[in-house]
C-alpha cells in the first residue's frame, strides 16, 4: 500500500479501537477500486500506476480476509499477522502499550481478563522474531581502557578519561567533556575506536563541516540522531562526539545576511549539554523531530590552535626587567576553562563542560611504535601480503612527523604512496619492503620481494 494512503486508514482504525469501537464494522477500501474499475475510471491510467493500484487492492483484500466489511479490531490483528516486525518495532510497540496501560489499574476482574485476552491475541497474531541472547559485555573502566591500549599507543590519561566517560554514561551518568591536543596526537582515534566497538552508542560527527539547522549541504547536529529511535536513546542514551569542535565553537561562521551560524549551533549545543529537549525543523526532505537529550553525553575534540596563540600573545614582555618569554604548547601547558573562553568558546558552553582532557604531543619513539605497529597492521589486514619498512625509513618518517606536527595520518599516507608504487610494478608480490628517501621532496620509494 502506498504510505500516505495506508497511514490514513490505520490512523482511522486505531482511533476506533482506542475509542472503544473495536467491534464496529468498517468497509473494505478496496471496494472503491473495484467499483472504479467497472466504471472505467482507470482505463487511461499508465500500466505502471495501474499495477501499483492492483497491488494495493490485493493487500487490502488480504487484510480484510476478502470480506466487504470487517470489525476494526480484527482489521488491526489481521494486519499484524501479515507484518514481519523486527526487534526495534516490537520494542516500540511494547513501550507504547506499557505507557498506555500505566494509566489504567484494571480494577475490575473483567477488565483484567480483557487485557490478558488482548495480549494473547497480539502475541499469537505476530510472527515475533526469536529473542537474541545479548552478550553481557564488560564495560568497566578497566576493560574499556585495556581495549584502547590494544589499539592506541600512549596517551594513558586520555584513554582512562575516555573509559570513565563511557562507563559513567552506560551507568546513567551523562558527561560533557573536551579533549584537546595537537593534530595527530590520538584524540580522534581514541573515540573512533570506541565508536567501532559501540556503534549504537557513539555517534561521530565532523564538526568542521557543521552548521546550524537550516543551512543546506552541511553536517548538522540533528545528523547525530539519524537512524536512532527514541526508545534506544531512552534505554541506553547516546554519546555524541564532535571532531574538530574548535572549528564550530571557536571560529565565527557567517552566512548570507550576516547570520552567525556558529552562535546558532552553540545554542543547540547548549540545550544538548543541559539534557533538554531539542526540536529540529523540517530539512532536506527530513521531517521535524524532537529529541530528549536527558541521556545524551557530549564530547568535543579539537586542536584549539587559537587557544595556544592567545596564551603565547599574553606571555612575556619587551624591555628591561621583562620576564623570559615562554612558548606555550601542549607539552608544557594545562588547559583551563578561561583558556577555552579566550579562544572563542561561549562562556555558557565552557561552563557546562565536566572535564577537560589535555593530550600531549607524541614523541619520536611514539610515532615509530605506531608506524611499525598499527599503521603496518592496517595495510596488511587482508592477509594477502606482508609489509615491512626498513629501520632508516621508519626513523626518518617518525622524526619528520614529530618535528612538523603532521601526525600519524601523514605517516600512513607516505607509506601508502610507497605501497602504490610497489604494487603498480608487482601487484602479486607476497612481501613489500617500503623505503622512504631522504630527499627534500619526501618522494617515497620501495622494493617488492
Break the chain into its structural domains and give their ranges. Answer: 3-125, 141-358, 364-448
Per-residue pLDDT tens digits for 52-83: 777 676 666 667 766 777 787 777 777 776 66
Per-residue pLDDT tens digits for 86-112: 666 776 677 667 666 655 555 556 666
Which is nearest to 283 in space by CA: 375, 228, 358, 215?
A: 215
Within this chain, domains 141-358 and 364-448 share the same CATH topology: no
Ramachandran area for residue 253 (φ above 0: left; ψ -120 to 50: alpha; else beta): beta
Annotate 268-290 with DSSP letters as a single string. Answer: HHHHHHHT-EEEE--BTTBPPEE
DSSP H/E element including 291:
strand 289-292
CB 361 within 8 A of CB 186: no
Between 439 and 388, the more confident residue is 388
- Which residues, at least 6 apart from 431, have a Cβ–Cβ distance to it below 8 Å? 385, 386, 387, 388, 448, 449
User: C-alpha distances in angstroms, 20 versus 10, 13, 14, 16?
Assistant: 15, 11, 10, 6
- CATH code reported for the domain at 141-358: 3.40.50.300
pLDDT of residue 133: 42
Q: How far apart are CA 65 and CA 68, in angstroms?
A: 9
Per-residue pLDDT tens digits for 154-207: 888 999 999 999 999 999 999 999 998 887 788 888 999 999 888 889 998 887
pLDDT of residue 355: 92
Between 100 and 359, the more confident residue is 359
Strand, coil or helix: 203 = strand
Between 151 and 216, the more confident residue is 151
Which is nearest to 345 in space by CA: 304, 299, 296, 303?
A: 304
With a cut of 80, say whether residue 327 has pLDDT above it.
no
- Tell me the torsion sign for CA atoms 396, 399, 405, 410: positive
pLDDT of residue 129: 45
pLDDT of residue 104: 56
With a cut of 90, say whether residue 383 has pLDDT above it.
no
Q: How far apart are CA 254 and CA 257, in angstroms?
A: 8
pLDDT of residue 62: 66
The C-alpha cell of 27 is what?
468497509
Residue length of the chain:
449
User: Exposed e or buried b for every residue in 205-225, given b needs 16+ CB within 10 A?
Assistant: bebeebbbbbbeeebbbbbbb
Between 263 and 144, the more confident residue is 144
Between 376 and 66, the more confident residue is 376
**Mean pLDDT computed over every residue of the chain:** 75
The model's pTM is: 0.61
Pick the CATH number of 364-448 from 1.10.8.60, 1.10.10.10, 3.20.20.70, 1.10.540.10: 1.10.8.60
Q: Read off the pLDDT band of 303 (50, 70, 90).
A: confident
pLDDT of residue 324: 54
Amino acid at each position: 500500500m502506498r504510505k500516505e494512503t495506508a497511514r490514513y486508514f490505520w490512523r482511522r482504525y486505531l482511533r476506533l479501537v482506542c475509542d472503544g469501537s473495536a467491534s464496529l464494522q468498517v468497509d473494505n477500501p478496496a471496494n472503491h477500486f473495484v467499483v472504479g474499475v467497472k466504471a472505467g475510471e482507470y482505463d487511461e491510467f499508465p500500466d505502471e500506476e495501474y499495477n501499483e493500484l492492483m497491488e494495493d487492492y490485493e493487500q487490502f483484500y488480504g487484510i480484510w480476509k476478502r470480506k466487504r466489511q470487517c470489525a476494526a479490531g480484527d482489521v488491526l490483528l489481521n494486519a499484524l499477522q501479515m507484518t514481519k516486525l523486527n526487534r526495534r518495532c516490537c520494542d516500540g510497540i511494547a513501550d507504547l502499550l506499557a505507557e498506555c496501560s500505566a494509566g489504567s489499574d484494571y480494577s475490575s476482574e473483567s477488565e483484567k481478563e480483557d487485557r490478558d485476552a488482548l495480549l494473547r491475541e497480539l502475541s499469537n497474531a505476530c510472527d515475533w522474531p526469536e529473542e537474541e541472547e545479548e552478550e553481557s559485555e564488560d564495560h568497566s573502566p578497566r576493560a574499556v581502557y585495556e581495549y584502547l591500549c590494544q589499539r592506541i599507543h600512549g596517551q594513558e590519561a586520555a584513554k582512562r578519561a575516555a573509559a570513565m566517560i563511557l562507563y559513567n554514561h552506560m551507568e546513567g551518568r551523562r558527561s560533557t567533556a573536551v579533549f584537546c591536543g595537537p593534530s595527530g596526537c590520538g584524540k580522534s582515534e581514541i573515540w573512533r575506536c570506541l565508536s567501532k566497538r559501540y556503534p549504537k552508542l557513539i555517534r561521530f560527527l565532523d564538526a568542521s563541516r557543521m552548521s546550524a539547522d537550516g543551512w543546506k549541504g552541511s553536517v548538522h547536529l540533528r545528523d547525530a540522531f539519524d537512524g536512532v529511535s527514541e526508545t534506544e536513546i531512552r534505554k541506553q542514551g547516546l554519546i555524541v562526539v564532535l571532531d574538530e569542535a574548535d572549528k564550530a565553537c571557536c571560529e565565527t561562521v557567517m552566512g548570507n545576511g550576516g547570520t552567525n551560524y556558529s552562535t546558532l549551533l552553540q545554542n543547540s549545543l547548549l540545550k544538548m549539554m543541559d539534557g533538554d529537549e531539542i526540536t529540529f525543523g523540517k530539512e532536506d526532505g527530513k521531517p521535524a523531530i524532537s529529541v530528549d537529550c536527558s541521556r545524551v553525553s557530549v564530547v568535543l575534540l579539537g586542536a584549539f590552535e587559537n587557544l595556544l596563540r592567545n596564551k603565547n600573545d599574553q606571555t612575556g614582555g619587551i624591555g628591561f626587567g621583562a620576564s623570559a618569554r615562554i612558548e606555550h604548547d601542549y607539552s608544557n601547558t594545562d588547559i583551563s576553562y578561561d583558556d577555552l573562553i579566550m579562544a572563542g568558546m561561549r562562556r555558557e558552553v565552557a561552563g557546562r563542560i565536566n572535564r577537560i582532557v589535555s593530550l600531549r604531543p607524541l614523541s619520536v619513539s611514539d610515532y615509530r611504535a605506531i608506524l611499525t605497529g598499527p599503521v603496518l597492521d592496517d595495510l596488511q589486514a587482508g592477509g594477502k601480503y606482508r609489509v615491512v619498512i626498513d629501520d632508516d625509513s621508519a626513523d626518518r618518517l617518525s622524526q619528520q612527523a614529530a618535528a612538523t606536527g603532521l601526525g600519524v595520518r601523514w605517516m600512513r599516507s607516505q607509506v601508502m604512496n610507497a605501497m602504490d608504487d610497489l604494487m603498480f610494478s608487482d601487484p602479486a608480490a607476497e612481501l613489500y619492503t617500503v623505503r622512504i628517501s631522504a630527499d627534500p621532496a619526501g618522494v617515497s620509494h620501495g622494493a617488492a620481494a
